[in-house]
Chain A
Amino acid sequence: MKVAWRAGVGVVALVVAAGVAARLQMDPAPVRLELEPERVRACETPAVTRVRWDATALRGEGGVRLEVNNLGRPPKLWVQGGKRGSAEAGKWAHDGYTVTLKALDGRVLARRTLASEPCRR
């Protein structure tokens, strides 16, 4: 009995941990957010980027907003608009440049971050 109880606790703990891990690794909401490019050569930054989003799967009226920030800088509102759209940003994205798709109530729906690879000579 004791063995079964302990095994049960272990399984529940594993399931909870797996749930939390999955939640941390995925977008918080069923939306589509694409950042292009998602990877650049470090020597080619700052880079021009393009973002496409689709949050039409979300229930309710209203739109979304996109915030952007380079690493270590506070996010700034970039676009506020409909649930689906695209936008192009100027040449300001450095390694770690992050686009955050948010609901109008401030809920984070998805994030994309620009990564870099070293420039080998």
Chain B
Amino acid sequence: MNAATPSAVSVPQPGAGRRAWWPRLAWAAGALLCVVLYALLLWGLDRRALGVAPGAYRTLANVGLNAAVALPWVLLLWGLTRRLFSSLLLVLLLQAAACQASMVKQQVLGTPLILQDFYFLTSFNRASLEVLGSYLEDARAFALACVAGLVAVVAAFRIESPVPRRAGAASVTVLAAGLALALSQSLATWPWTAVYTREHVRPSALGPEPAVLRAGLMSSLVYKHLEVANTVYKLDEEALRAVLAATAAERAGGAAAPASGELPDIVVVLSESFMDPHILSGMEALGDVIPGARALIRQGAGGEMVVPTYGGGTVRTEFEVLTGMPVSAFPSVIYPYADMSARRMPGLPLLLRGRGYATVAIHANSGAFWNRTDTYKSMGIDRFLTERAFREGGKKDGGWYSDASMTDLVLRELERADRPLLVVAVSMENHGPYDSRAPVLDEAARAAIRLPEGLPDGAATGLRNYLYHLANADRELVRLLDGLRARGRPFVVVFFGDHLPALPEAYEALSFVDGRRAQEQTVPWLIVGDTGRRAAGRRLHAWELAAEALEVAGIGGDPYYDLVRVAGRRLAALPPGSEEARLLRRGVEAAAVARFQGRFEEFLR
């Protein structure tokens, strides 16, 4: 590489005979200093983003390896542009942006950036920009920083002289090395697997924070990439056989056929961040903003649901509900729609389509968000109405399209259907951030919301906004049920919250009635229909919901859902930590892996 050293900051004349040694030395010293500064700057930004001391875990190995993650990209840029310093600057600015994003995510959701968050970069569009941009406290400062960064990079590339073309062989070597390292990093092979090891990164099963703390954000991201890329979903055949044997007698019963013989329309509503505010201390005394859902739960049509995410990550719950598979069956998967590509994703839509249903999904955001368009196709959803469908007649309430607009579309689709219909509706109105000052349709209703005394200003604003939209979601649930009853066709509505909203300040100030953390709270679920059957209003997991709904709808005959229903009910009756519960859970996870791999039926023979 030394052959490529002449000319950079000082534009020396490398071919000038014996006089050329000092510029080369100056360049080499400058390059070395730059690399050291680059590693230290990145480490400093990393510690700042995590909110820990600059010296925390600052070792040569940690600082060096955290910086070395970008080595392939620096080499590639250097080889292509023949400018080392500008290449370093560009890569550093991109990493600084990642650190900043991690800091914002840490403040909003309590977790740092993870590998799967980079999925957004592969499907970046206006909708992604709107959702992610809404979390920026000062969008103007962010835009200015972007422009300043861009100007700095362009200026650097213009000021820095390229390595002369006569050093072409060295440039090709740099390029080849960069390419080889980039390829091996992308393919998750040696040398990366030898360096970014479990021992170095020290990850934790409890979350991504420990790995980021102990090895740096960049190292933790590469480690996760290596882990995900080298994971093979292992099927625990023993556990699967055991759970099938243990549930054989109960599964033989299956679900009864529809009472009227007519298949009901099924509407699945994922209500963004829908929770019961009464789980917060002091809220019960202030009235009820979800009277509709509460009345149905009291009638036995619903209960509490355990969801695999908090504050965000809607697709984790959505995946469990629509497929009946626990995310925990796939340990390396964070966002299933992005991490698990499959040409055919078994679940509720495919099952119902096989029984003669038409299938439609409705969501007031871009279809590219969370990779829904592709995943819905593989799930067997015929049509997907996205934000574009809302633009004709839809209204925004706050920052996003209203739940009322979504209900309008659901009812319109039902009216147009010429056969039984499955509608999967994913709401958007109550999506964060909740400190938004976006105007709402009913300012008086927002102002009238009562809050506990003594809440800090920020927490009060967030909670007030959230409760306003929550009340709208509840009202729309009631309107949807009224609309369905008026049609005179049998129906089943499945309604649930996907996770608790990210309101850490409010939780901190109020605390939860049961004394547990926000991450351990449950959300409401409902299955309401006019088929004459109902699910027992018990506590269940998101992956059990569709199995229960199928029974209420009178649609049986799917052995996987039969297993999930029987195992779920048995699990609910067992003490959570018991050995029997553990084995049952293990069996359900094994069944999910087999189902995903298309091998579940093999084990029924």
Q: Are B9 and A26 in contact (CB under 8 A)?
A: no
Indicate if B449 sits at the interface (CB-CB under 8 A).
Answer: no
Kindly state the separation between the CA atoms of A3 and B50 in the bound complex, as whole angstroms. 41
Q: Are B52 and A24 in contact (CB under 8 A)?
A: no
Most buried by A among B159, B207, B213, B504: B213
| A18 CB, nearest partner CB in chain B, Å | 6
User: Using a CB-CB cutoff of 8 Å, which residues 98-121 of chain A contact chain B?
Assistant: 98, 110-113, 115-116, 118
Q: Are B508 and A74 in contact (CB under 8 A)?
A: yes
Q: Are B44 and A6 in contact (CB under 8 A)?
A: no
Q: Are B47 and A24 in contact (CB under 8 A)?
A: yes
Q: How many A residues face the partner with a CB closer than 8 A?
A: 34
Residues in chain B near residue A98, CB distance under 8 A: 51-53, 56
Residues in chain A near residue B37, CB distance under 8 A: 14, 17-18, 21
Indicate if B45 sits at the interface (CB-CB under 8 A).
Answer: yes
Residues in chain B near residue A10, CB distance under 8 A: 8-10, 30, 85, 159-160
Indicate if A48 sits at the interface (CB-CB under 8 A).
Answer: no
Provide the B470-508 mask, 1 if CB < 8 A to any CB of A, else 0. 000000000000000000000000000000000011001
Measured CB to CB, the nearest residue on chain A to B210 is: A95
Q: Are B10 and A24 in contact (CB under 8 A)?
A: no
Q: Are A14 and B30 in contact (CB under 8 A)?
A: yes
Indicate if A57 sits at the interface (CB-CB under 8 A).
Answer: no
| B416 CB, nearest partner CB in chain A, Å | 47
Residues in chain B near residue A118, CB distance under 8 A: 199, 202
Indicate if B106 sits at the interface (CB-CB under 8 A).
Answer: yes
Indicate if B110 sits at the interface (CB-CB under 8 A).
Answer: yes
Kindly state the separation between the CA atoms of A113 and B212 in the bound complex, as whole angstroms. 14
Kindly state the separation between the CA atoms of A98 and B159 in the bound complex, as whole angstroms. 42
Secondary structure of the B side of the interface? helix
Q: Are B33 and A14 in contact (CB under 8 A)?
A: yes
Q: Are A72 and B10 in contact (CB under 8 A)?
A: no
Indicate if B287 sits at the interface (CB-CB under 8 A).
Answer: no
Measured CB to CB, the nearest residue on chain B to A69 is: B51
Kindly state the separation between the CA atoms of A71 and B112 in the bound complex, as whole angstroms. 10
Indicate if B11 sits at the interface (CB-CB under 8 A).
Answer: yes
Indicate if B111 sits at the interface (CB-CB under 8 A).
Answer: yes
Q: Are B40 and A71 in contact (CB under 8 A)?
A: no
Most buried by B among A11, A24, A74, A118: A24
Indicate if B535 sits at the interface (CB-CB under 8 A).
Answer: no
Indicate if B66 sits at the interface (CB-CB under 8 A).
Answer: no
Residues in chain A near residue B48, CB distance under 8 A: 24
Measured CB to CB, the nearest residue on chain A to B109 is: A72
Q: Are A71 and B210 in contact (CB under 8 A)?
A: yes
Q: Are A24 and B111 in contact (CB under 8 A)?
A: no
Kindly state the separation between the CA atoms of A7 and B56 in the bound complex, as whole angstroms. 35
Kindly state the separation between the CA atoms of A7 and B22 in the bound complex, as whole angstroms. 13
Q: Are A17 and B41 in contact (CB under 8 A)?
A: yes
Q: Are B10 and A25 in contact (CB under 8 A)?
A: no
From the candidates B9, B33, B55, B57, name the one contacting A7 in the complex (CB within 8 A): B9
| B109 CB, nearest partner CB in chain A, Å | 10
Q: Are B53 and A6 in contact (CB under 8 A)?
A: no
Which residues on A are within 8 Å of B, measured CB to CB?
2-3, 6-7, 9-11, 13-14, 17-18, 20-21, 23-27, 69, 71-75, 95-96, 98, 110-113, 115-116, 118
**A/B interface sample: 6 pairs, CB < 8 A:** A13-B85, A24-B43, A24-B44, A25-B44, A74-B508, A98-B52
